[in-house]
Structures are given as C-alpha cells and as structure tokens.
Amino acid sequence: MITFPNAKINLGLNILEKRSDGFHNIETIFYPVGLSDILEILPCPDTSKSSSLTITGKAIQGSVSENLCFKVYNILKNDFNIPSATMFLHKIIPVGSGLGGGSSDAAFTVKLLNTLFNIGLDEVQMINYASKIGSDCAFFIKNRPCFATGRGDMLEDIKLNLNAYFILLICPEIHVSTAWAYSQIKPAKHITPLKNILSLPVEQWKILVKNDFEKIVFKKYPELKKIKEQLYEMGAVFASMSGSGSAIYGLFKEKPEVKGLFKENYYFEKFLSF
C-alpha cells in the first residue's frame, strides 16, 4: 500500500509560556498543503525476516532505527503483534523547514499500518499513538484545518477554507533547528487569541497575524526575511514563515509569476477545499 504524507503550514504561531515539562504552550493554526513525501508499506514476504525501512530522496540525519516511521512500527508491533513489514520512504518535504514532514511521515505510518494489518484503530486511538511520537503528529491524523494549543497536540477543528487563494511555498536550503529556536524564544501572552484574528479577512492578517519565531530566525538568517519581503512585493496578501522555519509561504489572490525569481526550491498550488 502506498500513501503520500503531506506537509502543513502554520497560520500564525504564538509561543505563550514554557511548561514545567520543558515544552512550550503554543497556539497556532495548522493547515495542510499538497507538498508530499511518498510512503509505501508492504507485508514482508518472508515472515521470518525483520522489518526494514529504505529511505531515498532528501537526506535524513540519524540511523534507520531512529526514523519516526520505524518507531511507529515498533510501537504498534509491541501492542498488536503485527507482522514484519517492508517500508519505503521517499523524502520530498525538506527537513528542518517547519513543514512537519517527519511528523507527517509518522502519522501516515500509523494510518497505513492500521489499514494494512486491519488493526481497527479509530481516529482518536490513532491520534493517541501519533502523539507518542511528536507534538504535531496528531494533526496529520486529522489532516484538516485545526486550531492547535498545548504543545500543538490539543486540536480543535475549525472552519477555514483558503481555496480562493494560491500558495507559493519557498524552501531554502537552510535547516533551522527547532530545539535551537525554542531555546532562543521569550514566551509572551497575546492579548487577542489567534483563532479570533484568523476569523478576519485574509487581507487583514498581514498586520495582525505573527509567527513569534520570525524575529530570532530572521536575525540569524536574514535571507529568509528577504524572501518574505519579496513575496509581498509580488502581491501576496499574506506571507509568513512556517513553524520555526525555514520555509516561507505567500498567499495570493491571483496565480503569481515565479519564473527566475527564486534560486531556492519552491512549490506552488491552488488550495484544496475542506
């Protein structure tokens, strides 16, 4: 069976406070986009052999045994004694870009194994398993627009449809460490809840919707700030960094002309309806 773990963008990202467990309480809107990895899982033909994971495409640091897909398999095998599996992951979503590629791979592994081996997990149960792997993994089980709080694992479905807009997603060859970004951040309460702001017309987001990571990340990587400014110069009604970076996206009312403007990898799509 084959599936396509997709990326997400953050529409606003407020870092509210540091928690006693070392994590941070945040508020953000997760919104799915079509840029996807490719994941295939097959039952191992020889049941006496151990499970395997082959990774191609963009390089991922760490051993195969440390990969989130493999960790998901081992958790479910421990609880449900599922058969050995042969897994193939082709990485397209840039690592360290703030697009949630690793979390998406893990969540889609939960969903694919659940279907392939008839485990019988419902959405809530799959969310619980995905949450064991990472804070935003649970979102990719739902994979629809959500208002996220807590560590990013408390999700509320919202009615937000951007299908009237085009998205231009710029993915520079810059890896921003999430751990580093959080170590530099100074949490602060925000007067107006993000969910209330995002109910306003998109044209008003430019002034009101912020990503708290931009200030520190743009200081270290000024080329990212330049990309955001360039998207506005091209006519974006809203532009932002996703997550802790380094991907920058712009929302456009009309299809933007991008040929020759960016040396970086870029991805372009019309938003889907939800």
Let me know the angle formed at the C-alpha of 135 by 134 and 136, rounded to the nearest 5 degrees.
100
Output the CA torsion 148→142→91→173 (10° steps): -20
Please identify which residue in the block is written with the tokens 């403007």: 261
Q: Is 166 within 8 Å of 146 (Cβ atoms)?
A: no
Catalytic residue among 91, 105, 111, 136: 136
Buried/exposed 97-113: b ≥16 CB within 10 Å, e otherwise: bbbbbbbbbbbbbbbbb
For residue 226, the Cα-to-chain-centroid distance in whole angstroms is 23
The amino acid sitting at 166 is F
DSSP codes, 183-215 = HH------SS-HHHHTTS-GGGHHHH--BTTHH
Gap between the Cα atoms of 173 and 115, Å rounded: 35
Q: Is 105 designated active site?
A: no
Q: Is 8 designated active site?
A: yes
Sequence-separated (6 or more) residues with CB below 8 Å from residue 21: none
Give the catalytic positions in this structure.
8, 136
